[in-house]
Amino acid sequence: MTDYLNRTVDKAIENGDVEGIVVTGLTLKGIDILEKALDKYGDVQTASLVMSFIVPKRFKDHRVEDWVENYRSLMDRWQLWHERATFDIQRGKRMNSSEIAPPQVYVRCNHCAQSLGHSLVIQNARNREGKRMNVQTSNPGGRASSKQKSTVCPSCRKPLPRCALCLLHMGTPVDQLRQTIMTNDTHNIDPAGFDLWFTWCQTCRHGGHAIHMFEWFQKHSTCPVSNCSCQCQV
């Protein structure tokens, strides 16, 4: 029986027969089968999806890593960004915590340096007076998150920044604003919702909703905030 199974596996590897994975399982032999099948048919999607269940959680293999990166690049070229992001998220759930890169960018309060997402601990952060502090992620005073206003910092309760043009605070529900934009110009609506995300100048730190900033800088080059002469558009 052992000799028969070995011959079956060798034949599956030689022919790139993915049904041989029923015998090998998701092992190095299984990767050999998928590699041969990929060489014959070019189906990088199947190889990437199947092996993402165990690589790199169970073991590492540079071939699988190359397949995954090629698959991600392929989806980016096809502008399937949402699908690629979903793939990354689901793959990350099957990875060891040490394999997942920590977030590099996050939003925090200007007053207390608390992360607004409550999913991070910001070590050695500094407040506005320059004092070093470690930011906690728990809600202060045991307040229920469901009762917190979305327009204030959940830690220090101070208001979040306003859009420089419409003067709405970050976190303000935008359904009415979106309806107004659709009424005036349906071409300005981004189905993904990025048009109402906040963006800001890296020099003067002023900003607002992306669609408002875009419309402003189509006609102006300086910051929309009064008494600020920053050439944000440059």
> Which amino acid, one-letter code, is at 105?
V
What is the per-residue pLDDT for 172?
78
| 70 and 109 both lie in a single domain | no
* Pairing assessment for the beta strands 132-133 and 125-126 based on DSSP bridges: antiparallel
| 155 and 77 both lie in a single domain | no
What distance in Å separates the CA atoms of residue 113 and residue 107, rounded to the nearest whole number? 9
In a domain, 83, yes or no: yes
Q: Which helix (H) or strand (E) holds 26?
A: none
DSSP state, residue 61: -
| Tens digits of residue pLDDT in 39-94 | 999 999 999 999 999 888 888 899 999 999 999 999 999 989 899 999 998 888 88
Q: Taking 70 as the threshold, does the pLDDT of residue 206 lie above it?
A: yes
**47 neighbors 63 (Cβ within 8 angstroms):** no
Q: Taking 80 as the threshold, does the pLDDT of residue 156 lie above it?
A: yes
Q: Taking 60 as the threshold, does the pLDDT of residue 37 lie above it?
A: yes
What distance in Å separates the CA atoms of residue 173 and residue 171, rounded to the nearest whole number? 6
| 156 and 180 both lie in a single domain | no
What is the per-residue pLDDT for 109?
81
In a domain, 168, yes or no: yes
Q: Percentage of the chain surpassing pLDDT 90? A: 35
In a domain, 90, yes or no: yes
Among 221, 117, 225, 211, CA closest to 162: 225
Among 160, 191, 208, where does a domain finish? 160
In a domain, 142, yes or no: no
The model's pTM: 0.49
In a domain, 221, yes or no: yes
| 121 and 170 both lie in a single domain | no
| 17 and 89 both lie in a single domain | yes
What is the per-residue pLDDT for 234?
59
Structural domain that includes position 112? 102-137+147-160
| 8 and 84 both lie in a single domain | yes
| 156 and 90 both lie in a single domain | no
Q: Percentage of the chain surpassing pLDDT 70? A: 73
Higher-pLDDT residue of 129, 35: 35
Q: Which residues pair with 132 in a beta bridge?
A: 126
Beta carbons within 8 Å of 196's beta carbon, 6+ residues apart:
174, 177, 178, 209, 210, 211
| 180 and 153 both lie in a single domain | no
Q: How many domains does the chain have?
A: 3
**108 neighbors 115 (Cβ within 8 angstroms):** yes
| 86 and 3 both lie in a single domain | yes
What distance in Å separates the CA atoms of residue 64 and residue 176, rounded to the nearest whole number? 47
What mean pLDDT do residues 115-142 have?
Answer: 48
| 155 and 169 both lie in a single domain | no
| 38 and 91 both lie in a single domain | yes
| 68 and 36 both lie in a single domain | yes
In a domain, 194, yes or no: yes
